[in-house]
Amino acid sequence: MKPTAPRRPVLIDTDTASDDAVALIMALRSPAVEVVAITIVAGNVPVEQGARNALYTAELCGSDVPVYVGASKPIVRDLESAEWFHGLDGLGDHGYAPARRTPETMHAVDAIIAAAHQHPGLEVITLGPLTNLALALHRDPSIVSRISRCVVMGGAPCCEGNVTPAAEFNIWVDPEAARMVFASGLPIEMIGWQLSRDEAVLSADDIARILAIGTPLASFAIQSNSVAAGAYEEQTGEPGISLPDPIAMAVLLEPGLSLSASSHAVQIETISPLTRGMTVVDKLNVSGDQRNASVWAASGRAEICWKLDVPGWKAALERSLR
């Protein structure tokens, strides 16, 4: 009998709203990874609501993974959340009952540091603003060498943003934190918002097929995204359910779903009101030119995913909901 591969340790940092919750389900149901901690950051919803949503989702999965509350606001800015997109409770305002558990007492930043030291080769995935991770790196830079992979759902490396013409929401909320993380030396894999559009959106047929699975998880995945589906169609004109966080989770769980990727210098805009939070990707590798050297001196690098295996991603989602 072929030996079973050891489960990879994963920490999920999230601002738990509707698509985050589906991503949590995918990880908590996966035989490939062990979720050692869920850390909560303010973003889509206030941090306390994000913790409630994570605990509720973990309970649906029958998981007692510890949940830690983290930063309640960006490093230097006020929080601008996204209840308009996800509903006031972040889960479509369907009145889900509170979870029985409560969050741990340790702060999320300390939990990230502890997990990096306790789990060699820890993989980190961020589904919200990068505030918690930036603060952890500032407090203990040594965790860079202990994290084997950092999948970041964020940015718009090739196209328009979803909160301004230039920026994607997670990076825009706390661009200072994003700049710190991208410049930290972490092995970042950037899963941009654009990968969750067009064919990757759950169509009416996809939704019907998921509902036909008939499990509580399948029903929750669709119902909790009801408000988000309407907001997405209003924003883009595309019907269906767009799930950027689950797509990032699918790539973490199954790296082969990233069909085309390349490494580039990345800089995060923090000063301009027009392009705040823009993920400036040096696709042509011109940042080393003398005329650009001073501006790009503090930049970092990331592996940018350009193309997604869409049928593979949808199949991974459906497997997790059975």
Tens of pLDDT, residue by residue over 176-196, are 999 999 999 999 999 999 999
* Segment 131-175, tens digit of pLDDT: 999 999 999 999 999 999 999 999 999 989 999 999 999 999 999
Mean pLDDT of the chain: 96
**DSSP helix/strand/coil, 134:** helix
Reported pTM: 0.97
Region of 12 (left: φ > 0; alpha: ψ -120 to 50; beta: rest) is: beta
Which helix or strand (DSSP H or E) is residue 85 part of?
A: helix 83-86
Instruction: List CB contacts of 307: < 8 A, sequence separation 6 or more.
Output: 258, 259, 260
Identify residue 87 by its one-letter amino acid code: G
Length of the chain (residues): 322
Predicted confidence at residue 3, as pLDDT, reads 59
Instruction: List CB contacts of 205: < 8 A, sequence separation 6 or more.
Output: none
Torsion of Cα atoms, 98 then 104 then 110 then 116, to 10°: -90
61-85 in b/e burial notation, b at 16+ Cβ within 10 A? bebebbbbbbbebbbebebebbbeb
The CATH code belonging to domain 8-320 is 3.90.245.10
Give dist(CA 179, CA 48) in Å, integer.
25
Identify residue 74 by its one-letter amino acid code: P
